[in-house]
Every structure is written in structure tokens, then in C-alpha cells.
Amino acid sequence: MSDINERIGDATTVMFGAPSMSSGADGTCVDLLTQDAPGQVSVLWVSFTKPAGACLDRWRSAHDTDPADFGVIVVGETVGGGGGNADIDSQAVQTISNASDLTGIGIKVGEFISGRDERIAVCFDSLTALLQYVDLETAYEFLHALTGQLHSVGATSHFHIDPNAHDQQTIDTLLSLFDAEVRLDEDGTASVRTRNLVG
């Protein structure tokens, strides 16, 4: 288990704040996806910012083995389905062309996480991109439902955000949905804040 996972403890939903130019974001992302044996976890990426192949490349840069299963939900027209160097199975890639189709995203997430026995880890990249398409209240309601859906199946999840792109009120509003916050500064140093978990 990585140092970052020891520091977040029992938190299952994490807001991961990394400025767009910070170093170490990809490594921390993979650490948050991998709390135990990397070959025994099913990983889902919801990506507004990277093509599907680049998501799997990020994983393979840190691990010699692929996840037990993986899926990528590519959101928006500009990202595209391929990209990266990974020889990704097209069956593992779902596309939501309209980035404001939150219902569609929720349905695709539900299809991936339902009926699994193995541990599930989810990367949502990113809240900053999401907020370019929907207002804060709509995003909050969607994320409240989504984090509840993930919690109900015992998944761990982290949600990328660029803290420099938002005012503090927006950050605080969204942060209320999460168990912990991991934030990288420009040189890649991580700070962790957790709240007391209920139940």
C-alpha cells in the first residue's frame, strides 16, 4: 500500500486536487486506484480529458499487470476513443458524446460496477472539465448520486480537480461530498485532509 493510501485511511471517496502543471499527478492517480494487488481490482476511468488508451497507459506506467478488468467511459467529442499507446480492447470503451449527458454517464458507470465480486476502483477525470458543461448545482446533485452509487458497491473512487481553476466556494461545496481531499502542489508534494467518517 502506498503512503498516500495509508494517509487517507478508510476514506472511499477522494477529491484529488492537482494544478494542471503539477508533477506527480499521474502517479498519485494510479496509487489511489491501487490499494492492494493491482491484478485483483476492476478499474473504471471516466475521462473528459484523455483518450481511452492514455488511461490504460497511465496504469501500465506503474504496474506490470493489467487490472482484473477495466473500462473507460470517454466523455465529449474532443477526446476520442483511442489515443495513447495501449492496445485497448474496444469492448472496454464506452463513449458519451454529449458531455452534459450526466444521466448517460451515470448509467454507464452503473453497468460497469454492478454484479462484481472483486474490488472496484474509479477515476473521474475531471470535475474541472465537468463544470465547463454544467452548473455547480447540477454537478453537485449528479456527484451526490454518483458517490452514493459507488459507495453502495464498496468501490473506492477519486475525482480530479484543478483547484486553481475554481473559487474556494466551489471547491468547498464539492468537497462536502467526499471523505478526503488529496492535494498536490506544483512540485508534486501531497497534502491530505480527511473528515471523520460516519458509520
* Residue 169, domain member (yes or no): yes
Q: Model confidence over 140-189: pLDDT tens digits?
A: 999 999 999 999 999 999 999 999 999 999 999 999 999 999 999 888 88
pLDDT of residue 86: 57
Share of the chain above pLDDT 70, in %: 93
* Residue 23, domain member (yes or no): yes
* Residue 199, domain member (yes or no): no
What lies within 8 Å, CB to CB, of 115 at 6+ separation is none
* Residue 22, domain member (yes or no): yes
* Residue 115, domain member (yes or no): yes
* Residue 170, domain member (yes or no): yes
Question: What's the mean pLDDT in 38-42?
Answer: 94
Phi, psi of 169 (to 5 degrees): -65, -40
Residue 178 sits in a domain of what CATH number?
3.40.50.300
The C-alpha cell at 86 is: 495501449
Residue recorded with cell 487517507? 8
pLDDT of residue 195: 78
Q: Model confidence over 77-108: pLDDT tens digits?
A: 755 555 555 577 888 999 999 999 999 999 99
The C-alpha cell at 102 is: 450526466
Show the domain range for 140.
3-194
Q: Could you give the number of structural domains in the chain?
A: 1
The chain-wide mean pLDDT, for the chain, equals 91
Whole-angstrom Cα distance, residue 106 to residue 110? 6
* Residue 158, domain member (yes or no): yes
Walk across the sheet containing 119-125 and list its strands: 93-96, 69-75, 41-47, 119-125, 156-161, 13-17, 180-184, 190-194
